Amino acid sequence: MISAAEFFTAAAHHGFDFYSGVPCSFLTPLINGVLKRPGLTYIGAASEGEAVVIAAGAWLAGRNTVVMCQNSGLGNAVNPLTSLNAPFRIPTLLITTWRGQPGIGDEPQHQVMGQITHKLLSVIGVEHEAFPKKAQELPAALRHASARMAERELPFAFVMEQASVADDGLDLQARAHLDPGVREDLTMPGRPPSRAAVLERFLTLVDPAAAVIATTGKCGRELFTLADRPQHLYQVGSMGGASGMGLGVALNVSRPVVVLDGDGAALMKLGSFATIGAYAPAGLIHIVLDNGVHDSTGGQPTVSHSVDFAGVALACGYRHALSCATLDQFASAYRLAAAGPKPVLIHARIASGSMSKLGRPTISPADVARRFKAFLAQPATAGTAPLAAGAA
């Protein structure tokens, strides 16, 4: 058995300083340890998949990341591990517990996952080995994991058995409740704009220093078709992960961060609203472009017609929320959002449908990620004039 302090000291030699995850009793010592250890960041996620995308955003912003979860939650993490980390070549150190380990009694819900944990990691292409049980094993294990992540540009996992790390307790102060955020409803009768029209107007408004993360599907494709810029990241796969990635970026940069989300994607990871509200990144603008359908898959309806995204955001701790339904209202809402308290959400009702000549990004996801990471590493010079739509 090792101590949490021994793990963190060894991990620090390899630069690991950003942790996200969902608790498991096996992980209690590590999560409690990171929460009270100066110099380390821990973001408690609403789901294991959200923890993966938060860590991906933090990696883009220059942090070395660790994701911790129970192996029962690997099912929630499979999607971003395979459709975000893999195509974008984003590494993270994954620590998953081994509940339901064969031969060791455990709750019935862990039986199946306990039998397939190692096979599942292998199937999805995540190299893995046993979590070290002795302090003297830590340096070599972390050196090997770091080397494999550097070589493959992919996650590497440690599988942790019960009682691998000693627990020394946790004593944290309760968080204060926030006052309600401010709501502004700019909605007036008018014709809802197309998503492309909103994105084109957005491109004339956004600060060139802002980092922009577009959700998967036609949102990212239309943004790329209108203007490809180093400040853009076009998500593919990992539906619902744009807001979590935006949170991971926004917590680690001193520049505006804009998430261009869709109603279907936002609904898929609605728990991210709560995480964003709780950690309250000071530069995050979250835009939900709500056309009421899954546009990229044939226009099947979502359930957004009955969802008040602005109200949800405020209930989750956002400091500001705005609603709009026309192109000019969107422009007004964006200017107010950029100048007001954050995190802020803009709920923009738009028309269904997409551009007739819709391209796809011609730069690979891995190259998009590294171009975006290089952009984030540059000094942010906010307040400069926005570029015209189509400008590179």
- Please write the tens of the pLDDT for every residue from 62-71: 999 999 999 9
Do 347 and 204 belong together in one domain?
yes
Report d(CA 104, CA 102) in Å as an integer. 6
Do 187 and 286 belong together in one domain?
yes
Domain assignment present for 224:
yes
Domain assignment present for 391:
no
Domain boundary among 166, 193, 225: 166
Task: Count structural domains, the chain.
Answer: 2
Lateral strand order in the sheet of 41-44: 41-44, 16-21, 64-69, 93-97, 156-160, 127-130
Domain assignment present for 384:
no
Domain assignment present for 17:
yes
Instruction: Measure the CA angle with vertex 51, ends 47 and 53; round to 5°.
Output: 115
Domain assignment present for 385:
no
Q: What is the pTM of this model?
A: 0.94
Do 121 and 186 belong together in one domain?
no
Report d(CA 1, CA 232) in Å as an integer. 45
**How many C-alpha atoms does 163 have within 13 Å on its Cβ side?**
1
Q: Is the dihedral of CA 6, 12, 14, 19 positive or negative?
A: positive
Q: Which structural domain range is residue 367 located in?
A: 182-377
pLDDT at 174 (0 to 100) = 66
Report d(CA 66, CA 81) in Å as an integer. 13
Instruction: Measure the CA angle with vertex 289, ends 91 and 220; round to 5°.
Output: 40
Do 126 and 195 belong together in one domain?
no
CATH number at residue 259: 3.40.50.970
pLDDT at 221 (0 to 100) = 95
Do 119 and 263 belong together in one domain?
no
pLDDT tens sequence across 234-264: 999 899 999 999 999 999 999 999 999 999 9
Closest by Cα among 60, 50, 121 to 89: 60
Closest by Cα among 198, 206, 205 to 288: 198
For the chain (392 residues), the mean pLDDT of every run of 10, in chain order, is: 94 97 94 92 97 98 98 95 98 97 91 96 98 96 98 98 85 71 92 96 98 96 96 95 98 98 95 97 97 84 93 97 97 98 97 86 96 96 50 45
Domain boundary among 166, 200, 221: 166
Do 205 and 351 belong together in one domain?
yes
Do 116 and 191 belong together in one domain?
no
Do 272 and 187 belong together in one domain?
yes
Do 260 and 372 belong together in one domain?
yes
Report d(CA 278, CA 363) in Å as an integer. 35
Q: Distance of CA 153 to CAs 123, 127, 147, Å?
A: 17, 11, 10
pLDDT at 212 (0 to 100) = 98
Do 196 and 288 belong together in one domain?
yes
Domain assignment present for 392:
no
Domain assignment present for 173:
no
Do 286 and 230 belong together in one domain?
yes
Domain assignment present for 174:
no
pLDDT at 383 (0 to 100) = 47
Do 200 and 67 belong together in one domain?
no
Query: What residues pair up with 290 in beta bridges, in sequence order?
Result: 349
